[in-house]
Amino acid sequence: MRLKGNSFGIPDGSTTFSAANGTDVGGKTVTSGTRDQTFTIQNLGGTGLQLTGNPPVAISGSQASDFVVTTQPAVIVPGGGSTTFAVRFDPSAVGVRKAVVTIPHADSAANPYDFAIQGIG
């Protein structure tokens, strides 16, 4: 399994934020609008990859309510294929807002795949 944002890789367990790969979604005013970021899950294997979470992608952390998955990925990613999901940032307070995106799956010891995300309100 490989994860990308804006065509740039996001390592499993990453706590580094980058605008290039979408883990730093940038700034948004607290009083208006939202900011969306799309991520791509790639299945590097030859057989289907099953996403086992309910929902398939979850967001956690003390500021998780500022981030919501607006589009969930397919539950089965075909061998060599990919699927996408979208996260919306809608800050509830001024300042840096952080959360963790978690993708449980039925493949490898690196389960679940997770990474940190942030935005600025």
Instruction: Report the C-alpha gap between 98 and 100 in whole angstroms.
Output: 7
DSSP structural state of residue 51: B
Query: How many beta carbons lie within 10 A of that of residue 114, not counting itself?
Result: 19
Q: What is the reported pLDDT for 95? A: 95
Give the H/E segment covering residue 40. Answer: strand 35-42
R_g over Cα of the chain = 14
Instruction: Report the C-alpha gap between 91 and 97 in whole angstroms.
Output: 7
Residues in the chain predicted with pLDDT less than 50, given as ranges, are: none
Instruction: Report the C-alpha gap between 111 and 88 in whole angstroms.
Output: 24
List, for residues 40-75, the tens digit of each pLDDT value.
Answer: 999 998 999 999 999 999 999 999 999 999 999 999
Please name the amino acid found at residue 50. Answer: Q
Q: What is the reported pLDDT for 120? A: 95
CA atoms 60, 64, 115, 49: torsion sign: positive
